[in-house]
Amino acid sequence: MDHWVPVGLPAAAVDSPSIWSSLIRHPWYLLAILCLTQILCWTLAPALVNVSPPNDVVEGFMWGREWVLLTYKHPQLPAWLLETSHLLTGSFHWPQYFVAQLVISATFVFVYLLARDMLGKTRALAAVLLMPSLYFFGWPTPQFNHDYTQMPFWAAICWLLWRASRGGGPGWWLVLGLVSGVGLYAKFSTGLLLLFGAVWLLSDARARSRLATPWPWLGLAVFLAVAAPLAVELYRMDFLPLTYAAWRDQWVLAHRSRFYYISVQIAGLCGFVLVLAISGLLRRSPPPEEPVARSTLVYLLWMGLGPAVLVMVASLFAGAGEAWGAPMYNLAGVVALALLGHRLGAVEMRKLAICAFICIIGISGAYAGIRWTKCNLRGRTDAVCWPAQKISDEAEAVWHAAAPGRLDIVGGHPLFAPLAGLNAYDKPSIFTELNMQYAPWITSQRLRDHGILLVWPGHDVPPYLQAWLGNIPVKTVLFDWSLKAPPVAISFAAVPPGAPQLPGVIDSLTRPGN
């Protein structure tokens, strides 16, 4: 047996009659405390200081109410989770942060399960205690989007594949197929991990032998069945998400240094290396008498570091968004403990725990302080500073003063139009980019029957909206958003059903090439 290597602390530490030794004897207790701390701190900190949700979250809320499988950017599992959180709570203010931390905590749990099977309970707990020191598990998580929704799926796939290939029953293969398929609904880049998993499955003799049984193939059938609706919708949309990805790559190449992505990833790992040093795991010590099995280490390096390294290399030649690597460092702590775990003792474990809680509490506190200061004292424009509720209230007031019926559609500026619709009682749909390909829930008939509220920043009408307005009056409102910076001007124009300019505008929207 070259897996599930049990490793523990010195007997003296375990026998010590203290709360700490009790937590070490029962790692699930400390893991639960860690997850609860993560959820509490990273839900409260942004909820207390962010007046509006981050950009991606606003977009996700607006798309979530449409319940579509796919948009021109990504599959829509994150948007479904956001909409569900709103339906359950009635709020657009804090549930998204709570959902984000449930996702992060689920990742902690799956990483623990994999590490426990490979390294034993103690090292598994140590591996998870290292995770809060990674940048991707802290500061960016309030911006709940596709990159962070992937995290638990990547961790779960790594655990399920290991379990299934190491003699697990047929259920492991079936669950692996299900989780792998659902993972694609978080983001298509989950396919990168599946590709790495397939290569490992074919290269590892013990894993490859499982292919002689029917269970891996049944798991594959489950995966294909779950993923099939996405494939059909992707084809129906003329592969728009792939077009978007190519455009995004070109934008990154044009606006970022070729070493930008790698620099961000290295910076995000600095805290991790610092905690390794503080804990004493980087000190010199005799080599372990029972090193981790080679097959285990190969799996961890391949699945845990392979995708991250590949994307770093690819970023030198193609664009890569800095957050795309978010799910690719889930196993960094497990790799570290596989290599350095023989140095883990009671003192090192205690230092890891202290560092983990300092990272969670300290960084979330710093987030709250810096975000509040940027908005209110420095006057730095940021999506989380805008008064979303007041903008939505004004949008509905303008609409109902000018047009009959409910506010059904909002459009215009890509930041302010979604904010206008977010908290609106009528729950309007967003006409993304005023493009029916990007917002297929908006049809020509719907525009004719319900009209649209246009929203943009500033007083002047931007050129792309001039054809929509004609002689329609524009209302510009000043919104306070900062203690120091001047108010922001936002303009509203209600284009009611039957407006004389609507047929011409709609015809231009539906004309081939537009």
The pLDDT, as a whole number, for residue 253 is 77
Q: 68-86, pLDDT tens digit by residue?
A: 999 999 999 999 999 999 9
The last residue of one of the domains, among 318, 347, 371, is 371
**Whether 326 and 394 share a structural domain:** no
Looking at residues 179-195, what average pLDDT do you find? Answer: 97
Instruction: Choose among 23, 31, 40: nearest CA to 361.
Output: 40
Q: Examine residue 449 and state whether it is found in any structural domain, yes or no.
A: yes
The last residue of one of the domains, among 348, 371, 394, is 371
Q: How many CB atoms lie within 10 A of CB 382?
A: 17
Residue 338 structure tokens: 């596989």
Residue 239 structure tokens: 């592969």
**Whether 59 and 159 share a structural domain:** yes
**Whether 210 and 330 share a structural domain:** yes
Instruction: Report residue 511's pLDDT band, with 50, 70 and 90 as the boundaries.
Output: low
Instruction: Choose among 503, 393, 408: nearest CA to 446.
Output: 408
Instruction: Report residue 21's pLDDT band, with 50, 70 and 90 as the boundaries.
Output: confident
The pLDDT, as a whole number, for residue 8 is 46
Q: Examine residue 207 and state whether it is found in any structural domain, yes or no.
A: yes
**Whether 338 and 425 share a structural domain:** no
How far apart CA 222 and CA 453 sit, in angstroms, is 44
Q: Which amino acid appears at position 186 of this protein?
A: A
How far apart CA 113 and CA 275 sit, in angstroms, is 22
**Whether 326 and 441 share a structural domain:** no
**Whether 246 and 351 share a structural domain:** yes
| Buried-exposed string 426-438: b where 16+ CB fall within 10 A, e elsewhere | bebbbbbebebeb
Q: Which amino acid appears at position 33 of this protein?
A: I
The pLDDT, as a whole number, for residue 12 is 41
The pLDDT, as a whole number, for residue 258 is 82
CA distances from 193 to 95, 329, 469 (A): 29, 12, 48
Q: Examine residue 378 and state whether it is found in any structural domain, yes or no.
A: no
Instruction: Report residue 167's pLDDT band, with 50, 70 and 90 as the boundaries.
Output: confident
CA distances from 325 to 76, 158, 312, 315 (A): 19, 16, 9, 11
The pLDDT, as a whole number, for residue 483 is 92
CA distances from 505 to 359, 399, 502, 510 (A): 53, 20, 5, 9
Q: 196-213, pLDDT tens digit by residue?
A: 999 999 999 999 999 999
**Whether 350 and 411 share a structural domain:** no
Residue 364 structure tokens: 């979330």
Q: Examine residue 2 and state whether it is found in any structural domain, yes or no.
A: no
Number of residues written out for the chain: 514
Q: How many CB atoms lie within 10 A of CB 473?
A: 10
The pLDDT, as a whole number, for residue 3 is 40
Q: What's the number of domains the chain is made of?
A: 2
Strands 409-412 and 452-457, bridge-based pairing = parallel
* H or E stretch covering 88: helix 77-89
| Buried-exposed string 191-225: b where 16+ CB fall within 10 A, e elsewhere | ebbbebbeebbeebeebeebeeeebbeebbebbee
CA distances from 272 to 109, 133, 137, 370 (A): 19, 5, 11, 22
Q: 463-502, pLDDT tens digit by residue?
A: 999 999 988 999 999 999 999 999 999 999 999 998 888 8
**Whether 418 and 487 share a structural domain:** yes
Q: Examine residue 376 and state whether it is found in any structural domain, yes or no.
A: no
Instruction: Report residue 165's pLDDT band, with 50, 70 and 90 as the boundaries.
Output: very high
The pLDDT, as a whole number, for residue 289 is 61
Q: 421-434, pLDDT tens digit by residue?
A: 999 999 999 999 99
CA distances from 506 to 452, 493, 514 (A): 12, 17, 11
The pLDDT, as a whole number, for residue 171 is 93
* H or E stretch covering 69: none
Instruction: Report residue 512's pLDDT band, with 50, 70 and 90 as the boundaries.
Output: low
The pLDDT, as a whole number, for residue 89 is 96
Q: 326-339, pLDDT tens digit by residue?
A: 999 999 999 999 99
Residue 372 structure tokens: 């509040």
The pLDDT, as a whole number, for residue 290 is 67
The last residue of one of the domains, among 371, 403, 429, is 371
**Whether 350 and 321 share a structural domain:** yes
* H or E stretch covering 216: helix 215-236
Instruction: Choose among 307, 187, 314, 326: nearest CA to 264.
Output: 326
CA distances from 379 to 105, 192, 249, 364, 485 (A): 33, 40, 31, 21, 5
Q: In a 10 Å sphere around its CB, with 0-12 CB exposed, 13-18 middle and 19+ buried, how is residue 286 labelled? A: exposed
Q: Is the pLDDT of residue 7 over 60?
A: no
Q: Examine residue 3 and state whether it is found in any structural domain, yes or no.
A: no
**Whether 142 and 112 share a structural domain:** yes
- Domain extent at residue 164: 11-371
SS (H, E, C) 429-497: EEEHHHCCCCCCCCCHHHHHHHCEEEEEECCCCCHHHHHHHCCCCCEEEEECCCCCCCCEEEEEEEECC
**Whether 401 and 449 share a structural domain:** yes
Q: 366-400, pLDDT tens digit by residue?
A: 999 999 999 999 988 888 999 999 999 999 999 99
CB 393, CB 490: distance < 8 Å: no
Q: Could you tell me if residue 273 is left (phi over 0), alpha (psi between -120 and 50 degrees) or otherwise beta?
A: alpha
Q: Is the pLDDT of residue 353 over 50?
A: yes
**Whether 291 and 390 share a structural domain:** no
The pLDDT, as a whole number, for residue 197 is 98
Q: In a 10 Å sphere around its CB, with 0-12 CB exposed, 13-18 middle and 19+ buried, how is residue 312 labelled? A: middle
Q: Examine residue 355 and state whether it is found in any structural domain, yes or no.
A: yes
Average pLDDT, the chain: 91
Q: Examine residue 50 and state whether it is found in any structural domain, yes or no.
A: yes
